Amino acid sequence: MMNRLLHLENLNVKDTHNHELVKGVSLDLYEHEFVGIVGESGSGKTLSVKAALHLLPNDLGVTFEDSEVLGKSIIDLSDHEKRRLIGSGIGFVPQNTVAFLHPMIKIKHQIGDAFIYHTKANKKEALQKAEELLVKVGIKEPKRVLHSYPVQLSGGMKQRVNIAMALMTDPKVIIADEPTTALDTVVQKQVMQLFNDLYTNDGVSILFISHDLKIVKRFCNRIYVMHEGKVVESGYTSEVFADPTHSYTKKLLRLIPSLKSGRTRRLG
């Protein structure tokens, strides 16, 4: 059995009006896996992965039967251990919203923070590493970006900074929530290639949320299909795509005819 890096069992999330947002979701991510989560908007994808990292706000009612991060049961960990484990072991690329980067702090003063904090590296080393990673995510002028405030960068640039930031600590697991939506197709390919390289060459495991079934089919070896707060189908990508059992999955796949006819290898 391969190492289980993320484990979440029977997650339920309710909002303040006791309305069920996530209903009985279980998720796993094993070592050497590239797992996709697909599902329409509002189906609970973001809530589920945030719950796996214990990032949900306190006003939401969150319950689960079991939750493991990097092989450790999260309930048994002290605050300090939890912070260290997640902070250095997991890279999280948030879904593209406006303010994951601090608007009042230059990129160079925030991108390396976790790296410095967890590895005791100095600022110079952090900047050097940040610069390399920024180039890797397709930024041509990393120095300019480092010296900028977030407001000086476009949405796509910010998203790439977020990706680079998630990679700073050389995490074993990357959780990426629709990391390519704000990017044009060229950069999108570049970023997916980067994730794939990390997965194949560096042994990084990836949990990947996407709307884009083509990308999911191409890169993920296992998928979860979510619908209205539930996981309605899961399994190896090839099997799910070849023989969807749930009606929602069937509908989803029917929307993209080219997938069924096998002309999906155009990407990349």
Partner 1 sequence: MLNFIVKRLFSGLVVLFFISLVTFIVLMWIPGDPALLSLGTDATPEKLAELRESMGLNLPWYEQYYQWLTGFLVGNLGNSYVFGEDVFTLLVQRLPVTISLAVLSMAIAIPIAIVIGVLSAIYKEQWIDYIARSVMQLGDAMPQFWLALVFLVFFSAGLGWFPVAGFTPVEEGFFASLHSILLPSIVLAIGQIGPLIRIIRSSMLSSLEQDYMLMTSVNGFTKFRSIGKYALRGAIIAPLTIIAMQLAGILGGAVLVESIFALPGLGRLLLMAVEQRDLILLQGIVIFVTGTVVVVNMVTDILYQIVNPMIRFGGSHE
Ligand X SMILES: Nc1ncnc2c1ncn2[C@@H]1O[C@H](COP(=O)(O)OP(=O)(O)OP(=O)(O)O)[C@@H](O)[C@H]1O
Residues that bind ligand X (CB under 6 A): 15, 21, 39, 41-47, 57, 60, 95
Does the footprint of partner 1 cover residue 85 (CB under 8 A)? Answer: yes
Least distance in angstroms from the C-beta of 5 to partner 1: 16
Task: Give the whole-angstrom CA distance, residue 135 versus residue 26.
Answer: 36
Segment contacting partner 1 (CB under 8 A): 68-76, 113-121, 122-130, 180-188? 113-121
In degrees to the nearest 10, what's the CA dihedral of 99, 103, 109, 111? 20
Least distance in angstroms from the C-beta of 249 to ligand X: 15
Task: Give the whole-angstrom CA distance, residue 245 versus residue 243.
Answer: 6
Task: Classify residue 42 as left (phi > 0), alpha (psi -120 to 50) or beta.
Answer: left
The interface with Mg ion within residues 66-105 (CB under 5 A) comprises 95
* Cβ neighbours for 68, distance < 8 A, ≥ 6 positions apart: 4, 6, 7, 8, 74
Which residue number, 168 or 232, has a Cβ lying nearer to partner 1?
168
Main-chain phi, psi angles of 87, to 5 degrees: -60, -40
Least distance in angstroms from the C-beta of 177 to partner 1: 11
Q: CA nearest 142: which of 128, 156, 152?
A: 128
Which partner from the list ligand X, Mg ion, partner 1, none does 15 bind, CB cut-off 5 to 8 Å by kind? Answer: ligand X
When binding is defined by CB under 8 A, the residue of 13, 90, 146, 191 that contacts partner 1 is 90
When binding is defined by CB under 8 A, the residue of 104, 120, 124, 140 that contacts partner 1 is 104
Which partner from the list Mg ion, partner 1, ligand X, none does 149 bind, CB cut-off 5 to 8 Å by kind? Answer: partner 1
Segment contacting partner 1 (CB under 8 A): 25-33, 109-117, 196-204, 213-221? 109-117
Residue 109 CB burial class (10 angstroms; 0-12, 13-18, ≥19): middle
